[in-house]
Amino acid sequence: MVTAILTWVMLRVRHWLAVSWLAVVGLVLAPSLAGAQPAPSASAGQPAPAAHRAEVRLKDTLITELRAPLAGVDPGARARAATRAIEAAFDEGALELRTERRDDIITLYAGAVPVLQLGAADAAAAGNASLEDHANAVATNVRKAIRAEQRRADIAKTVFGVSLTVFFGLVALYLLRKVGDFSDRGRDWVTSHPGKIPGISVQSIEVVRPATLRSAVLVAVTVGRWLGQFGVAWLYLLFSLSLFERTRGISEHLSGAIIAPFSQFTGRIATSLPVVLVVLLAGLVVVLTVRFLALFFASVARGEVELRWLPADLAAPTSALVRAAVVVVALVFLAPVVTGDTDGALVRVGTVSVIAFALAATPALASVLVGMVLVFGRRLQVGSYVELGPKAGRVKALTLADVELEAEDGSLLRVPHLLALVQPARVHGKQRPVAVEVSLAAPERLDEARALLTDVAGRYGAGAKVELVGFDASSVRLRLSVSSDLKSVEAQLTLGVFEALRRSGLPLSERRG
């Protein structure tokens, strides 16, 4: 569809260009065709024969006819010299005309250059009453010829500029489409060949992962598409505006607004290139150090490396603290050493970045501080059953920001450490207490019921205990509690108690509530 539209547009533009060029040719050739008309015969008036006439022209516009010699120069030589002088003055832009008389000769000047000399014989041959009137008439003809040629040149230049604007507009559309096609092909190739872009590794340390590098390539392709299309559109706009006199100033202003800041920026980069290289090298060292620390503490957490001073469950929080400390030290303390300036822009940027991050992340940092106390103080351990306010579950993982709990239904619950400042925490250890209440309709068989329930509870955990929580004339209420690390132990214990009571024949109370 797009190809068909472009083809139709190009055919229309080609037709329009042909018509435009024909119009230009007509405008340019019209004066010459008019000037090429046959001269009136000598019988029509008093002019001299054609053999004694010489025309003075500007391009194809007739200015005057010379019919008499002057100072021994025949009319033909005078006309040729005057034509060359007038055309040279027109091409050089010396268009200010004036006359100067000396004796019986008047000289016509274009600027400071003499272009034509007229005598009394020329005025008489032209039928003018005086030499001054003839000189003024010739000067008027020169001015008219100049205006006609200027108008013709402006029209031709405008038509040519419009033609170029349309032609290069089609070229710009084609380039915009090609830039988009190249960008789409690049994105499709990166998406369909993920294995062709490996990560960046230094020795055995993986600095940049393949997924990260692929994402960077996709971002670069997208940014390149935007920059390419913007560049094509900008160049076309500058070229189109520079073709016309009225818009040439806008073109110069646009080019200065873009090129001048870019050249200044390039010059600053060139002058600061050594410092930039040192900063990049220091940044690479920091990245490698952070990456090495992450891999080292990850191996400690997996048990591949054993440290006496660091348990495996504290490796992940310690890794986060150490890497954060390395980045802060690099920004605040190493920047002056690397750049050699204790009050440079990089140092100020590092200090401001740290302060801004600290202010923006105040709640998160407060949670981290509380987490450091809970994690490194061993107040919470992975695998323990805890109750944090209304939240309860087994500790699945501990980070410096929150604790991850595994609920009874298997879902994961993240609780920030800041909750420990406003809610009580109850730690049950590796086993959690479970309680089931039973209401019996046979108070006289209380001892039998307690023994039976204690035996049932012992099958599901430790510390089984049966307590009397209430009674009346027709029933008693008992609470059976046990500590267990089994999943869904409450449902299993309830089902076990029901089966044991059913087999023993102990009747349940019909009380509700």
Q: What is the pLDDT of residue 269?
A: 66
Q: What pLDDT was estimated at residue 41?
A: 33
Handedness of CA 6, 9, 13, 15 (dihedral sign): positive
Strand order in the sheet with 391-398: 412-416, 402-406, 391-398, 385-388, 425-429
Whole-number pLDDT of residue 25: 43
* DSSP letters for 72-107: TB-HHHHHHHHHHHHHHHHHHT---EEEEEETTEEE
Average pLDDT over the chain reads 75
Q: Specify the pLDDT at position 199.
A: 74
Per-residue model confidence as pLDDT tens digits over 383-395: 788 877 778 777 8
Tokens at 332, concatenated: 């605040």
The per-residue pLDDT for range 470-505, each reduced to its tens digit, is 887 778 888 888 877 777 777 787 888 888 887 887
Q: Give the span between the Cα atoms of 247 and 134, in whole angstroms.
A: 42
For 343-425, where are the alpha helices, taking DSSP H only? 345-360, 362-376
Q: What is the model's pLDDT at position 94?
A: 60
Lateral strand order in the sheet of 432-440: 432-440, 476-484, 462-471
Beta bridge partners of 64: 56
pTM above 0.85, yes or no: no
Strand partners, 387: 392, 426
The answer to whether the CB of 339 falls within 8 A of the CB of 422 is no
- Report d(CA 232, CA 177) in Å as an integer: 11
What is the pLDDT, as a whole number, of residue 12?
52
DSSP 8-state assignment for residue 340: S
Q: State the virtual CA torsion across 413, 415, 420, 421 in degrees, nearest 10.
A: -150
DSSP of 45-77, one letter per residue?
A: SSPPPGGG-EEEEETTEEEEEE-S-BTTB-HHH
State the Cα–Cα distance between residues 503 and 452, nearest whole angstrom.
11
Q: Which residues of the chain have pLDDT under 70?
A: 1-52, 93-95, 202-207, 257, 262-263, 265-276, 332-350, 511-513
Buried b (16+ CB within 10 A) or exposed e, 310-326: eebbbbbbbbbeebeee
